[in-house]
Amino acid sequence: MIRKTRLFTPGPTPLLPAAQFAMAAADIHHRTAEFRALYTRVLAQLKEFVGTRNDVILLSSSGTGAMEASVSNLTSPGDRVLILTAGKFGERWSGICKAFGCHVDVVSAPYGQTFSIDEVKASLHLETRAVFMQATETSTGVRHCVPAIAKLLKDTHSEALLIVDAITGLGTTHLDMDAWGVDVLVGGSQKAVMIPPGLSYLAISDRAWDRMEATYNPRYYFDLRKERKNAKLGESAYTPAVALIAALGAAFDWIAAQGDGSLVEGRKRLIENAETVAAMTRAAMIALGLKLFAPDASGAAATAVLAPEGVDSGIFVKELKSRFAAIITNGQGEMKGQIFRIAHLGFFDYMDTIALIGALEQVVVKSVPQLNAKFGDGLIAAQKLYAERSPTAAADNKCLCGRELTHCSLQHPDAK
């Protein structure tokens, strides 16, 4: 049979065709009125997509560049910061902060879990200048409760800024930066917005802009104040990734079209879609006899699945690729060989999900016979969940962050 390559990876993700066309046609010089009009429009769309009134800065870098920019612009050598980590990308915050001379305190949780709010509270100090965390930890499939941490900082009258890596959270998780009091929200292009790697962005609160005036870590290319000044003129400080910016505009137009012309409504439907296909995938994995790696804190960006005892998770990755040209990812670092990850963010839909579950059934029945799975077990579970699920039902008993209230660190009184 012929094989069509399909990405089911949490970045890069499948490309939106309209964005590919826009890139091909983006023969624009970046110091022209034509580009300034494009750039100004995309920055305005970006604010709508993030859902903020704050200024948003667009950088020609991967998401890690925006993470570094948030550290270099908002801290000084010797500043005490708190890192909340439960995976490889939380650990990345620690590495960046140490590289810029910060005094790093860490609250960690085992891979596959989220951290205790009480432990976070106990680790906050009067001199803590910033708290860094993930909205979703891509390496483990875990969703953290951002509103709980934001509320904690408010309730304790902490002066610490809250910086959130939402690179896989945006477009898969409800995030209300302004209402919750998040100071910096970081995103990346190769995730839910369905374009190639190479752009990152930061939504930045007034409080964070004020902090930048008093910090003195070195910065040059990632000087956010310089980018903000140029953005007001419809330009970037340095040569931008013109084709990617054109692609981002096309992606936002497409997302708005999914919401009947509203980018805000389109974003909500993008999140609903990710939540639904993630739930279908989790139901299918359980029906096949597999175990979820993060059953109590599962996010919608990606699902992490434990390999059965004595089985290397690489077999799922290799079999799906060799037999079906379907690309999923192994575990990262110490989790390699123990889990595999299936992405749901961006340009994935019901048909993609059903196809992957069917292919996984083939792999499980042939290569993991000890599970005693039968053809149809996973598909039936996924089909039933899809048939029963509706946007209203999906929102019931949910925390503002998207997790089940019974599993969340903070049960919000205004959650349904």
pLDDT > 90? residue 403: no
The answer to whether 12 touches 193, Cβ cutoff 8 Å, is: no
pLDDT > 60? residue 395: no
Residue 81: phi and psi, rounded to 5, are -130, 160
Query: In 45-148, where do the E strands start and end?
Result: 55-59, 80-85, 103-108, 128-134, 136-137, 142-143
Q: Residue 370: what pLDDT?
A: 96
Q: Specify the range with the lowest mean pLDDT, choosing from 68-72, 361-365, 386-390.
A: 386-390
Q: Distance of CA 234 to CAs 37, 38, 57, 231, 252, Å?
A: 7, 8, 12, 5, 18
User: What average pLDDT score do residues 68-86 get?
Assistant: 98
Regarding the domain delimited by 6-10+262-407, which CATH topology (the fold level of the hierarchy) does it fall under? Aspartate Aminotransferase, domain 1 (3.90.1150)
Q: Residue 389: what pLDDT?
A: 86
The answer to whether 101 touches 78, Cβ cutoff 8 Å, is: yes
Q: How many CA atoms lie within 13 A of 308 on its CB side?
A: 16
Kindly state the percentage of the chain with pLDDT values over 70.
94
Nearest residue to 200 via CA among 235, 230, 158, 170: 170
pLDDT > 60? residue 410: no
Element (H, E) at 341: strand 339-343
Regarding the domain delimited by 17-257, which CATH topology (the fold level of the hierarchy) does it fall under? Aspartate Aminotransferase; domain 2 (3.40.640)
To the question of pTM greater than 0.85 for the whole model, the response is yes
The answer to whether 111 touches 335, Cβ cutoff 8 Å, is: yes
363: number of Cβ within 10 Å? 21
The 10s digit of each residue's pLDDT in 188-206 is 999 999 999 999 999 999 9
Domain residue spans of the chain:
6-10+262-407, 17-257
